[in-house]
Amino acid sequence: MSDTANPAVIRRADYAAPAFLVDSVALEFDLAPERTVVKNTMRLRRNPDATPGSRLELMGEALAFIGAAIDGKALAAGAVRAHEHGLSIGDVPDAFELVIESTCNPVENTTLSGLYVSSGNFFTQCEAEGFRRITYFFDRPDVMATYTVTLRADKSAYPVLLSNGNLVEEGELADGRHFAKWEDPFKKPCYLFALVAGKLVALEERIRSRSGKDKLLQVWVEPHDLDKTRHAMDSLIHSIHWDEERFGLELDLDRFMIVAVSDFNMGAMENKGLNIFNTKYVLANPETATDTDFSNVEAVVGHEYFHNWTGNRVTCRDWFQLSLKEGLTVFRDQEFSSDMQGGATDETARAVKRIEDVRVLRQMQFAEDAGPMAHPVRPESYVEINNFYTMTVYEKGAEVVRMYQTLFGREGFRRGMDLYFKRHDGQAVTCDDFRHAMADANGRDLAQFERWYSQAGTPRVSVRTAYDAATQRYSITLAQSYGDAAPAARETQTGPLLIPFAIGLIGRDGKDIALRLEGERSETGTTRVIELTEPEQTFTFVDIKEAPLPSLLRNFSAPVIVEYDYTNDELAFLLAHDSDPFNRWEAGQRLATRELLALAARAAAGESLSLDDSFVAAFARVLTDESLSPAFRELAMMLPSEAYLAEQMEQADPAAVHAARQFARKRLATALKNEWLAIYERHVTPGAYEPTPQAAGQRALKNLALAYLAELDDPADAVRLANAQYDSANNMTDRAAALAALLAASATAGAGVAEPALDQFYRRFEKEPLVIDKWFALQATQRGSAKHRVIDVVRRLMAHPAFTLRNPNRARSLIFSFCAANPAQFHAVDGSGYAYWAEQVVALDSLNPQVAARLARSLELWRRYTPALGDQMRAALERVAAQVKSRDVREIVEKALA
Ligand code: TRP
Ligand code: ZN
């Protein structure tokens, strides 16, 4: 039975050290699109720490074997066996030189893993297990070697030849070919190997690092994109300085390169000294990129750069430790973006970033943790590792790292980081090693904290409070549990967590009360991080003169769900007064969630909908509070997403949620029409476009006003403003927002109101693939109506000449946008969305399993839906399960159906 028919489960408990160590690798590439020849010369020796075995087993995939030699002697046919999964060599010495020659076919490689061709240029992607598609190797992260890479190719077709590290030699060859030789002085696992060859140009900059060394920075793109590289370069320079400042970490190479490629499975890749990026996270100028794109570029450039230390200098022992590098690096990029928003001291500006991150976590990671793919931050097993580049490993992993900082403060966290690098520089280590460094640097026992790495599911903390006026004592009882967790999560749960729970108490005047816990000598501060370690614990504050209102889990100090029965009035009060900006936003979200879920229940029962004036009044106060930044007001006025709301229901009912949310949006639009119009006028940003957080916040609030106005029964004002904004916009944020507003208005005013702008947009940006992606995505995510079904639009767009399944960005812009970001239309009761989904998963499965598996995940929560939908979702999953071949998709659909 082949692996694809019966996929093998890989278990963390089965870890064994590699049988051989590789000290050095010399790779020679003769690059040609259909047949690239790779000669791989390795110095190997037996690993003294491994159990002895005689054969040498190397991994290889989609390779054609040519020949091998040990210590200069060609191996006879009987001594070496090439098979579907690699190369097996008989008795080998204890230390030797091994040369292997093989070929691969980059132009036929649609998986975008290994060596492939995109727009006529060569690129590689090796994480997680793509290096074995380039040459036979110990493709595992704990085998670290130094690399020398020689690239040979036709000079006119491939004038630029790049690889990791430093360029040590280049020159001409016969027949119009040329070569370049690169040396990476640092040992690395093979997943960090990269090469790029083709017609590219670079924006260059020279900087001096903190210790006075000169560094060459380059951003490589196709020639027509050179005008979109400035922001990525600036982001790189900011990242370099930030890591020196905040963590004392310097760039260790003389040169650092970023290369953009339009065919890419993920966001970007941290290959040593040669980061390869999806164009989406490099290219930005005001004409083509939105404010969100600008900040995403900054975040991803930072993320990949920060991996140079957290991931590359110290790497993972095995893929179960993926969060060691990803959780930590996401935390670092979040802190970087946050510091870039308004300076480390402006807490309201920092809160905007925090709110955005928590919103993603709660909408996406909490859902993952409640379904069949639930897994701990450090998974116990997997079938296909690519399926574990998840919200849990990345985002929950970042929250776990953040908790160390919450417990020990910035300085304590820095001490832990310093010790981590002192102990492990140049090593492949585990999540436990990181935790031990944090514990030892801060003199703490963090044994209990390990459960954050081993337990899946979202913890719930239920809160009870009691005030005793006679003794002026206020007690808070916290109880932790996992509720009724998904089976996949339940089996990992062994005991209570250490939960850092930040609390403030607010007086009747709306001001924070100074805090003193029972047993403390004096009051200290107004926010206290309580450490919950037991299933249930009571904490008592003393000298509390009046019954306070608790502000719970300030700044979202732990990735948990807080259960506390606030009244609507209390939530409105917190929304108006909490000194913790995160919790101010949170109070509004709680209020809205409660009201919207009540509305959804009425909508599902076919009852009429209504919303209290006090609800509108609470939001009106925030909208018009000039002391709050526009960016914060925009976040506060945005209602919880349909996906988040559906996730809160006993049985998810996307149509009811959509009806409820639309009703509330229309109510806020109608009741506050004059306010929205005034907000719109007042937040226009005249003059040249600037991607600053301040200007972006103004545009965000203005465009939210436009979106609300488009919800009115008579959207004439919105249509007028949107058309004017579309025509006069000097930036993509405003142009795309105008188009989105016209599409929203077309749900009531008819498709005709959006068509002229849609056509104009396409013609204007025909040559800008990333903008055409927006054009597809805007149409796929439009609200639609009973008469104007979005599935019909999507099916029509599938036949558009600009559509292709082979480019992941394009596939995502249409298919994923519809299947994962337009729930009400996707979950149409007639099952039309599911039929479309099944077709696309099957079609992608044979082209690009990684992308197919991501799409496959959009139905995994079928058990959480109303039976009318859930049954059809299951049937669609079963149809897909019967047809797909890749290990990637099979793991997803089989877990969903189990
Ligand atoms: N390590 C990459 C990151 O920074 C993730 C990544 C990029 C990746 N490309 C990939 C993971 C392809 C798996 C497959 O997060
Ligand atoms: Zn990463």
CA 288 to ligand 2 centroid distance, Å: 25
Atom 3, ligand 1: which residue's CA is nearest? 269
pLDDT at 787: 85
Question: What CATH topology corresponds to 766-898?
Answer: Zincin-like fold (1.25.50)
CA 676 to ligand 1 centroid distance, Å: 41
Q: Ligand nearest 398 Cα, by number?
A: 2
Asked whether the predicted pLDDT for residue 4 surpasses 50, the reply is no
- The number of C-alpha atoms within 13 Å of 736 and in the hemisphere containing its C-beta is 25
Say if residues 192 and 146 touch (Cβ distance below 8 Å). Answer: no
pLDDT at 349: 67
CA 131 to ligand 1 centroid distance, Å: 13
Specify the ligand 1 atom closest to the Cα of 326: 15
Which segment of 161-175, 337-351, 870-884 scores lowest on mean pLDDT?
Answer: 337-351
Distance, CA of 389 to CA of 85 (rounded, Å) = 23
Class of residue 444 by CB neighbours under 10 A (exposed 0-12, middle 13-18, buried 19+): middle
Contacts of 471 (CB under 8 A, 6+ apart): none
Atom 7, ligand 1: which residue's CA is nearest? 269
Say if residues 604 and 598 touch (Cβ distance below 8 Å). Answer: no
CA trace torsion 71, 72, 76, 79 (10° rounding): 20
- Kindly report the CA angle at 889 between 888 and 894, in degrees rounded to 5? 110
Question: Which amino acid, one-letter code, is at 728?
Answer: S
User: Which pair of structure tokens corresponds to residue 687?
Assistant: 């003059």
Q: Ligand nearest 268 Cα, by number?
A: 1
Specify the ligand 1 atom closest to the Cα of 307: 4
Q: At which residue do the structure tokens 């504050």 appear?
A: 541
Residue 400 Cα distances to 245, 405, 411, 492, 726, angstroms: 23, 9, 17, 17, 43
Distance, CA of 644 to CA of 635 (rounded, Å) = 15
What is the pLDDT averaged over residues 674-686? Answer: 97
Contacts of 427 (CB under 8 A, 6+ apart): 314, 315
pLDDT at 346: 58
pLDDT at 52: 82
Specify the ligand 1 atom closest to the Cα of 112: 12
Distance, CA of 271 to CA of 508 (rounded, Å) = 55
Give the domain ranges of the chain.
20-306, 324-454, 460-564, 766-898
CA 781 to ligand 1 centroid distance, Å: 26
Phi, psi values for residue 861, rounded to 5°: -90, 25
pLDDT at 343: 52
User: Helices 693-709 and 630-637, interaxial angle, to 10°?
Assistant: 40
* DSSP-assigned states of every residue in 597-664: HHHHHHHHTT------HHHHHHHHHHHT-TTS-HHHHHHHHSPPPHHHHHHHSSSB-HHHHHHHHHHH
Q: Which residues line ligand 1 (CB under 6 A)?
A: 125, 127-128, 265-266, 268-270, 303-304, 326, 386, 389
- The number of C-alpha atoms within 13 Å of 738 and in the hemisphere containing its C-beta is 23
Q: How confident is the model at residue 485 (pLDDT cuts 50, 70, 90)?
A: confident
Asked whether the predicted pLDDT for residue 805 surpasses 80, the reply is yes
Specify the ligand 1 atom closest to the Cα of 303: 4
User: Helices 693-709 and 291-306, interaxial angle, to 10°?
Assistant: 130
Specify the ligand 1 atom closest to the Cα of 304: 4
Percent of the chain with pLDDT over 70: 98
Distance, CA of 704 to CA of 713 (rounded, Å) = 17
Q: Which residues are catalytic?
A: 304
Q: Ligand nearest 128 Cα, by number?
A: 1
Asked whether the predicted pLDDT for residue 449 surpasses 80, the reply is yes
Percent of the chain with pLDDT over 90: 96
Specify the ligand 1 atom closest to the Cα of 267: 7
Rounded to the nearest integer, the mean pLDDT of the chain is 97
Residue 360 Cα distances to 363, 364, 368, 579, angstroms: 5, 6, 12, 23
Mutation to probe ligand 1, out of 125, 388, 886 (largest number of atoms < 8 A from CB): 125
Distance, CA of 44 to CA of 299 (rounded, Å) = 39
CA 250 to ligand 2 centroid distance, Å: 18
Distance, CA of 575 to CA of 586 (rounded, Å) = 8
Q: How confident is the model at residue 872 (pLDDT cuts 50, 70, 90)?
A: very high
CA 219 to ligand 1 centroid distance, Å: 19
β-strand pairing of 315-316 with 428-429: parallel
Q: How confident is the model at residue 13 (pLDDT cuts 50, 70, 90)?
A: very high
Asked whether the predicted pLDDT for residue 1 surpasses 80, the reply is no
Distance, CA of 15 to CA of 143 (rounded, Å) = 13
| Element of type H or E holding 778 | helix 769-780
CB atoms within 10 A of CB 579: 16
What is the pLDDT averaged over residues 24-53? Answer: 96
Q: Ligand nearest 277 Cα, by number?
A: 1
CA 322 to ligand 2 centroid distance, Å: 9
Q: At which residue do the structure tokens 């793509």 appear?
A: 130
Q: Ligand nearest 275 Cα, by number?
A: 1
Specify the ligand 1 atom closest to the Cα of 311: 1
Give Rg (Cα) of the chain: 28
CA 390 to ligand 1 centroid distance, Å: 11
Question: What CATH topology corresponds to 324-454?
Answer: Neutral Protease; domain 2 (1.10.390)
CA 799 to ligand 1 centroid distance, Å: 30
Distance, CA of 363 to CA of 776 (rounded, Å) = 23
| Element of type H or E holding 44 | strand 36-46
pLDDT at 53: 79
Atom 2, ligand 1: which residue's CA is nearest? 269
CB atoms within 10 A of CB 281: 25
Claim: this prediction has a pTM higher than 0.85: yes
- Residues bordering ligand 2, an ion, CB closer than 5 Å: 326, 329
Q: How confident is the model at residue 5 (pLDDT cuts 50, 70, 90)?
A: very low
Asked whether the predicted pLDDT for residue 699 surpasses 50, the reply is yes
Say if residues 63 and 136 touch (Cβ distance below 8 Å). Answer: yes
Say if residues 85 and 60 touch (Cβ distance below 8 Å). Answer: yes
Q: Ligand nearest 267 Cα, by number?
A: 1
Specify the ligand 1 atom closest to the Cα of 394: 15
CA 767 to ligand 2 centroid distance, Å: 30
Say if residues 632 and 348 touch (Cβ distance below 8 Å). Answer: yes
pLDDT at 54: 74
Say if residues 502 and 569 touch (Cβ distance below 8 Å). Answer: no
Distance, CA of 727 to CA of 721 (rounded, Å) = 10
Mutation to probe ligand 1, out of 300, 389, 393, 854 (largest number of atoms < 8 A from CB): 389
CA 300 to ligand 2 centroid distance, Å: 9
Phi, psi values for residue 70, rounded to 5°: -115, 125
Atom 4, ligand 1: which residue's CA is nearest? 269
Backbone angle region of 284, left / alpha / beta, with phi > 0 → left and psi within -120 to 50 → alpha: beta
Phi, psi values for residue 205, rounded to 5°: -155, 145
Q: How confident is the model at residue 378 (pLDDT cuts 50, 70, 90)?
A: very high
What is the pLDDT averaged over residues 215-222? Answer: 98
What is the pLDDT averaged over residues 741-762? Answer: 96
Question: Which amino acid, one-letter code, is at 840?
Answer: Q
* DSSP-assigned states of every residue in 389-434: --HIIIIIHHHHHHHHHHHHHHHHHHHHHHHHHHHHTT-EE-HHHH
β-strand pairing of 144-154 with 20-30: parallel
Q: Do domains 20-306 and 460-564 have the same CATH topology?
A: yes
User: What is the CATH number that goes with domain 20-306?
Assistant: 2.60.40.1730
Mutation to probe ligand 1, out of 269, 329, 390, 848 (largest number of atoms < 8 A from CB): 269
Atom 1, ligand 1: which residue's CA is nearest? 269
Say if residues 279 and 297 touch (Cβ distance below 8 Å). Answer: no
Q: What is the pLDDT of residues 155-193, one digit of tens each?
A: 999 999 999 999 999 999 999 999 999 999 999 999 999
Class of CATH domain 460-564: mainly beta
What is the pLDDT averaged over residues 588-595? Answer: 98
Q: Assign 497 to helix, strand or coil.
A: coil
Mutation to probe ligand 1, out of 266, 306, 332, 392 (largest number of atoms < 8 A from CB): 266
Identify which of 129, 106, 94 has the alpha carbon closest to the alpha carbon of residue 36: 106
User: Helices 230-247 and 291-306, interaxial angle, to 10°?
Assistant: 50
Asked whether the predicted pLDDT for residue 286 surpasses 80, the reply is yes
Class of residue 830 by CB neighbours under 10 A (exposed 0-12, middle 13-18, buried 19+): exposed
Say if residues 161 and 170 touch (Cβ distance below 8 Å). Answer: yes
| 768-792 burial code (b ≥16 CB/10 A, e <16) | bbbbbbbbbbbbbbbbbeeeebbbe
Distance, CA of 64 to CA of 62 (rounded, Å) = 7
Residue 428 Cα distances to 19, 49, 110, 146, 516, angstroms: 16, 14, 31, 14, 44
Mutation to probe ligand 1, out of 265, 325, 326, 388 (largest number of atoms < 8 A from CB): 265
